[in-house]
Amino acid sequence: MLSFFKDYKRFAIVFLIISIIIVTIIYNTLNVYQPLPIYQPAMVNEELVDSTIQYQRKYHKIADFSLINQNGKTITQNDYKGKIYVADFFFTTCLTICPIMTNHMAEIQKELINDNEVLLLSHSVTPEIDSVAQLKKYALEKGVIDAKWNLVTGDKKQIYELARKSYLAVKDDGDGGPFDMIHTENFMLIDKKRQIRGFYDGTNAEDIERLLDDIKILKQEK
């Protein structure tokens, strides 16, 4: 009888080990790499998208641009060629969500400071106020590292069109005025092919963690 229980104990241990191995294999098989979505205008809240492209379902990419950064340097899409980047819209005199967004962008900068594949890009929605000098002052206050993060100003029409037709991130003010914007808390994750791969609440710490995780996923793409 004692021998029977010893044999049963050995069987139970072996069975348990085999079960753990099988469960681990199944878990790893089911948790295969899942690519991030490629966002199209038709997938985004209509309030954030220009009416001319609201129903577009494929081929959406960030348009070419030419803007001026905090150092007076012209920044174009070529400065982000072959890079993953995080973009947002803000203004330096904002006292509500912008300081939180900027602090979170600074956290992303710190987290990815040695990652040369990832850059940051913040567009001013009040370029008539946010001159190069104003952006430089703001950049110094917020710890912006020039090689990592551009704060850009420029032609308001171009910024408006980028916001509404490229990044799908900013509301029209609705008063009929040309190129007036209500910026949102959105951070956008852009891949090396100029495609939008994620939207995140720039005021939410958990969303920032999700963004950082998604960057890791995006870097796995060939």
| Structure tokens given for 85 | 């980047």
pLDDT of residue 178: 64
Euclidean distance between CA atoms 222 and 214, whole angstroms: 15
Confidence of residue 8 (pLDDT cuts 50, 70, 90): low
pLDDT of residue 143: 98
pLDDT of residue 12: 56
CATH tag for 41-218 (out of 3.30.70.270, 1.10.3720.10, 3.40.47.10, 3.40.30.10): 3.40.30.10
- CA torsion, points 68, 161, 219, 147, in degrees to nearest 10? 10
The tens digit of pLDDT for each residue in 78-98 reads 999 999 999 999 999 999 999
The answer to whether the beta carbons of residues 154 and 161 sit under 8 Å apart is: no
Confidence of residue 181 (pLDDT cuts 50, 70, 90): confident
β-pairing, 118-124 vs 149-152, is: parallel
% of the chain with per-residue pLDDT over 90: 78
Give the burial string for 75-97 (b: 16+ CB within 10 Å, else e): beeeebeeebbbbbbbbbebeee
β-pairing, 171-172 vs 149-152, is: unpaired
% of the chain with per-residue pLDDT over 70: 82
- Taking all residues of the chain, what is their mean pLDDT, rounded to a whole number? 89
Is the model's pLDDT at 67 over the cut of 60? yes
Could you give the residue ranges of the DSSP H alpha helices within the chain? Answer: 2-30, 98-111, 132-142, 156-161, 205-218
pLDDT of residue 175: 56
Provide the residue ranges of all domains of the chain, joining segments of one domain with +.
1-32, 41-218
User: Measuring CA to CA, which residue among 194, 191, 199 is closest to residue 221?
Assistant: 191
Is the model's pLDDT at 167 over the cut of 80? yes
pLDDT of residue 5: 46
The tens digit of pLDDT for each residue in 15-60 reads 566 656 664 554 444 456 689 999 999 999 999 999 999 999 999 9
Euclidean distance between CA atoms 215 and 125, whole angstroms: 26
Cα-based angle 130, 73, 106 (whole degrees, multiple of 5): 60
**pTM of the predicted model as reported, rounded to 2 decimal places:** 0.84
